[in-house]
Chain A
């Protein structure tokens, strides 16, 4: 069981890194790495917890798993926000919809209120 978890974790880690190399812009790269690397690392931490059982080693690997699950989405969200705000060049010709287009400008300069 632990061997299966280690194989799955290594496979997903490798897939995430290949996506980091191959994808065209920063949001695609983040999409590739964040989920797959979190899944791979969590599988391998779970394998360590299964191997060492109810001991300080197993409990520490469960703690690392919990911490990784808690912090990886927050970190990716912060990087995506910063990348959008500083206008990193994206592959705009292939982008279908951009719901945040002009939101920052509208928040900085709100339109006049209509009096009627």
Chain B
């Protein structure tokens, strides 16, 4: 794995993260935005993993776990709010 290859893959994943951000901004309904947020948080975790591999920033691997957990909790919270109008029941 050369560094140029890793930089290219990082660029590809960053572009797909920007596409998710576009859908999150213009999405016509609220579930569209929630789907886009789910994909966005996963792509952000992938970007951080690629940064860990590229620059050997081994401290950042904890950020990946926190991003995965926060994306899941946010998705669940908004989905439950949409369905019932209440998160905690």
**Chain A positions near chain B (C-beta within 8 angstroms):** 2-3, 6-7, 9-11, 13-14, 16-18, 20-21, 26, 29-30, 33-34, 37-38, 40-41, 44-45, 47-48, 51-52, 56-57, 60-61, 63-64, 67-68, 71-72, 74-76, 78-79, 81-83, 85-86, 88-89
Contacts and interface: CB of A to CB of B under 8 A. Distances in A.
Nearest to B5: A3
A6 B6 contact: yes
Interface of B: 1, 5-6, 9, 12-13, 15-17, 19-20, 22-23, 29-32, 34-36, 38-39, 42-43, 45-46, 49-50, 52-53, 58, 61-62, 64-65, 68-69, 71-72, 75-76, 79-80, 82-83
Contacts of B39: 16-17, 20, 33-34, 37
Contacts of A18: 16, 19
A81 B12 CA distance: 32
Contact of B16 (A17, A29, A48, A75): A17
Contacts of B17: 17
A9 B61 CA distance: 18
A20 B76 CA distance: 19
A10 B16 CA distance: 9
Given A45-B49, A48-B49, A60-B65, A26 B29 contact: yes
B42 A37 contact: yes
Closest 5 A-B residue pairs measured CB to CB? A17-B16, A78-B79, A83-B31, A17-B19, A82-B82
Nearest to B58: A57
Contacts of A29: 23, 32, 35-36
Contacts of B65: 60, 63-64, 67
B51 to A, nearest CB: 11
A6 B69 CA distance: 22
Contacts of B16: 13-14, 16-18
A37 B58 CA distance: 23
